[in-house]
Structure 1
Amino acid sequence: MPAGRNAPVLGSFVATQEGVVAARVAAPVEAYLVEVGDRVERGDTLVMLDDERISAERQQARAALAEARAALNTSEEEVALARQQLQRQQNLEGSSAYSKARVEDLRQELAISRAEVASAEAAVQSARADLDLAKIDLKHTEVRAPYAGVVTERMAEAGAYVNGGDPLVGLVSDQSLEIEVAVPASRLGALRQGDVVDVELSGGGTAEARVRAILPRENRMTRTRTVRLVPRFDTSARRVAAGESVTVSVPLDTSRQVLSVHKDAILRRGGQTTIYVYADGKAEVHPVKLGDEVGSRFEVLDGVAAGALAVVRGNERLRPGQPLSIDKRVGPTGDDGGQDGGGDDGDDRVQTGKQPGGDQAS
């Protein structure tokens, strides 16, 4: 089938960074610092949460840490004292003041003091961790943008109480858009990662995009595979939005054999797609399943054999079994004298062949 080198496939722009910025601590909302439509940079403050309770918890954690450190100091002093007493009693060995039982008691007291030091050290570490957590919670009362983008939604208002994980702000990045398109698996033969293809924007104008990935998963219902492309133009300058449609010119596999029929032969009635073919002097109707449109022809996936003579003129008036005659000048002709053959490309047969360049069937 002579056809164009590219087939148009409809896709859409998708944001690689889009989602909800949520609260990370439980607190009342003190103030929103942004409005819907505001552009923000990474790290900008979006929402302020009331920090009164969390500030108090930080102070409490600081006090607990100071108390734990004091207890540790006391335990360390008790160890030092127990060690001195034990050493003093051991130095009396050989004299009448020496008591072996006393030495054993002092050794036990030293062991207990050392255990208390270990416990006090653990208490200090726990108190320090509590203080660190309080500092983190206090930091999170300022809800900041995780990436640059545009505010799409405010999901609470000042005075509302939110818990950790509750949504606060919708944010989408318009500076990291990609194109997602579902390409028929039969059209992937000529498409490669890294290829640069033409795209047509819904707002007008054309541009280029590079194929970033062809996902290795096929949709069982549509027999398509998802392709992601990176625009080779400034999407923000073109005012492109996530979800906006875009037409991608997918290169055709020029080595693939296909079956095609002229577009004028196609009838769509009652939700069914059919064509009439010339068969033993009569009109024979064939339900067909069509693929891509290329130039003036449609790919035929099922329903008719190669070489069948399709009726492309007057077919709207035909009925199954109606007599036809062939006028070699124009093709099949109904008995009413109408010219029911001869497409505008001069060939009304169902064709099979490769897909070289060109817009007209030959």
Structure 2
Amino acid sequence: MRMAAAFLTVAISFAPLDFAMAKKQAAAVKVDPVISEPLSQTMPIIGRLVASQTGVVAALTGGPVSEVRVAVGDKVKKGDVVAKLVTDRIRWNRQLRAAAVREKQAALQAAKAQLSLTQVELKRLQSLKKSAAFSQARFDDKSNEVVKYRSEVGVQKAAVASAQAEQRLADIDMHNSVIRAPYDGVVSRKNTVAGAYLSVGDAVITMINHTDLEIEADVPSERLNGLEVGRSIGVKLDSGQPMRAIVRALVPDENALTRTRPVRFTPDFNAVGTGQLQLARNQSVTVLVPIGRPRNIVSVHKDAVIPRGGKNIVFVVNEGKVNLRAIRLGSAIGNRFEVIEGLGVGDLVVVRGNERLRPGQAISHKGLVKEGEQKTTSLKGKQSSP
């Protein structure tokens, strides 16, 4: 009985010592700063990639096809030859037009020579006006001939110009007999083969400019307030690859059934490179359309918030110890909450180990500001290391 009483006395005497040691021992925790960040809630809308240049490459002159140099899927550069026409008829027509130009030029020279000769004769008759050999009738006839030949020179000049225009058209036909790619792209369809006859405007190939793609999405009219030309928004490809895009145009053409309007975005493919993405026209893209205009908010990490007694509380670090503080929260933004009341930018809150803390308890964490030092906190939203 005496031994039990002695043991109890010793235990009681050591209890205050153990409690004091526990009180002095700092709890290791992880903290995170309260930050200010722009709030921009978004809603996903399915869009698609569209090519700014796509369509049929047509024949600009008629004739039989000599060869088609490309196949479906081939990549071509602007100016590359994609097909050729048989040029025998075009070449001989060009020579015929050139001969017609020379013929008209010869006729013009003859008309000019006749005009010059008639003008000389008229001048000779005019010099005889004061002599008995002068004949007014002959003078009048020669004057009329000058007018006639002067008109003939004008007609022949017009004929030369017409023949030269015909020759120029023949040159254009010869040039257009070689069909070239109008822009960089990929051949998506082959519309003709060697031996087929093409008229002006007939399709040769169909191309898509895969290097100049935009995003088009049909956005509900009530969500257009969050979109401004030049604003950067987030998008995701169907592979999950995130990137940014700039609002290029809001097309004023509303669908009466869906109450949506097409919006064009210019994506930034430079970060990953178009060659690695294997992009295609009409490929699905998720556009994260902002809901309203962005605003700056104060936010706290979700792990710092502890629901207790119908309230939300956090442990705020102050001079190496933690204080309990009740806060009022707003919307959730990712892994953070908007703080309506109770915290300020730069406050350090405990995000790991807060479930076992008591108000006034000492804590330790990497980067804790010591007493007397000026407190500087990053407001970039990055969590501090434990």
Q: Same fold (TM over 0.5)?
A: yes
User: Are residues 1:244 and 2:283 paired?
Assistant: yes
In terms of mean alpha carbon deviation, does 218-227 or 68-77 score higher? 218-227
The alpha carbon displacement at 1:4 in A equals 7.8
SS in 2 for 1:102: helix
Over alpha carbons, which structure has the higher Rg? Answer: 2
Q: 2 CA distance for matches of 1:170 and 1:236?
A: 21
After the TM superposition, which segments of 4 or more aligned residues of structure 1 sit over 2 Å from their partners? 234-237, 355-362
The Cα shift of 1:198 comes to 0.9
Q: Secondary structure at the match of 1:96?
A: coil
Match of 1:306 in 2: none
Distance 1:165 1:65 in 2: 29
Find the counterpart in structure 2 of residue 232 from structure 1: 268
Match of 2:120 in 1: 84
Structure 2 residue corresponding to 1:253, chosen from 292, 296, 307? 292
Task: After superposition, give the CA deviation of every residue in 1:246-289 in whole Å (9 maximum; x if it has no partner).
Answer: 0010111269xxxxxxxxxxxxxxxxxxxxxxxxxxxxxxxxxx
- What is the aligned partner in structure 2 of residue 159 from structure 1? 195
Q: 1:216 aligns to what SS in structure 2? A: coil
C-alpha displacement at 1:30, in angstroms?
0.2
Check whether the contact 1:5–1:357 (CA below 8 A) recurs between aligned residues.
no
What do residues 126-154 of structure 1 show as CA deviations (whole Å, max 9, x unaligned)?
00000000000110000011111011111
Contact 2:40 2:292 in 1 (8 A): no
Q: Which runs of 5+ in 2 are unaligned?
A: 1-38, 295-329, 339-386
CA distance in 2, matches of 1:230, 1:33: 33
Hey, what's the Cα distance between the residues in 2 that align with 1:76 and 1:236?
67
- Where does residue 98 of structure 2 map in the other structure? 62
Distance in 2 between residues matched to 1:93 and 1:252, nearest whole Å = 99
**Contact map agreement 1:174 1:236 (CA 8 A) in 2:** no
Deviations 1:39-74 (A, max 9, x none): 111111110011111111100100000000000000
**Contact 1:175 1:236 (8 Å CA) reproduced:** no
Counterpart of 2:333, as a letter, is G
Q: Percent identity?
A: 40
Q: Which amino acid aligns with 2:142?
A: L
* Contact 1:4 1:359 (8 Å CA) reproduced: no
Q: Deviations over 1:77-120 (max 9, x none)?
A: 00000000000111111112111111001001111100110100
Per the TM alignment, residue 192 of structure 1 is displaced from its structure 2 partner at its CA by 1.0
* 1:96-111 matches, cutoff 5 A: 96-111=132-147
In the alignment, which residue of structure 1 is the partner of 2:151? Answer: 115
CA gap 1:254/1:232 in 2 versus in 1, 3 angstroms:
closer
Q: The residue matched to 1:218 in structure 2 has which SS?
A: coil
**Letter of the aligned partner of 1:78 in structure 2?**
Q
1:7 equivalent in alignment to 2:36: no
Q: Which amino acid aligns with 1:17?
A: Q
Pair 1:18–1:91, CA change in 2 (3 A)? same
User: Which residue identity is paired with 1:210?
Assistant: I
Contact 1:36 1:154 in 2 (8 A): yes
Give the AA of the match of 1:209.
Answer: A
The structure where helix makes up a greater share of residues is 2
Structure 2 counterpart of 1:235, one-letter code: T
| Change beyond 3 A, Cα 1:138–1:24 | same
**Equivalent-residue separation in structure 2 for 1:44 and 1:86 (angstroms):** 63
Conserved in 2, the CA contact under 8 Å of 1:75 and 1:120?
Answer: yes
1:211 counterpart SS class:
strand
Cα distance change of structure 1 residues 103 and 168 upon mapping to structure 2, 3 Å threshold: same
CA–CA distance in structure 1, aligned partners of residues 281 and 68 of structure 2:
25
Q: 1:34 aligns with which of 62, 70, 81?
A: 70
- For 1:89 and 1:178, locate their aligned partners in 2 and report how far apart those are by CA, in whole Å: 81
Any conservation in 2 of the 1:4–1:356 contact (CA below 8 Å)? no
In the alignment, the residues of structure 2 paired with residue 235 and residue 185 of structure 1 have an alpha-carbon distance, to the nearest angstrom, of 31
Counterpart CA distance in 2 for 1:151 and 1:26 is 22
Return the alpha-carbon distance in structure 1 between the equivalents of residues 291 and 59 of structure 2. 49
Give the partner amino acid of 1:100.
Q
**Whole-angstrom CA distance in 1 between matches of 2:192 and 2:67:** 10
Cα shift readout 1:146-185 (whole Å, capped 9, x = no counterpart): 1110111110110001100000101100111000000111
Amino acid at match of 1:164: V
* Counterpart code for 1:6: T
Which structure has more RCO (C-alpha within 8 Å, separation ≥ 6)?
Answer: 2
Q: Distance in 2 between matches of 1:356 and 1:82?
A: 101
Tell me, in whole angstroms, the C-alpha distance in 2 between the residues paired with 1:54 and 1:23.
Answer: 14
What residue in structure 1 maps to residue 82 of structure 2?
46
CA distance in 1, matches of 2:106, 2:167: 16
Q: Return the TM-score normalized by structure 1.
A: 0.69
The 3-state SS of whatever aligns with 2:78 is: coil
Is the contact between residue 76 and residue 187 of structure 2 (CA under 8 Å) also seen in structure 1?
yes
Distance 1:96 1:16, change over 3 A: same
Among candidates 333, 346, 354, match of residue 358 of structure 1: 333
Cα gap change, 1:254 to 1:140, in 2 (>3 Å) = closer
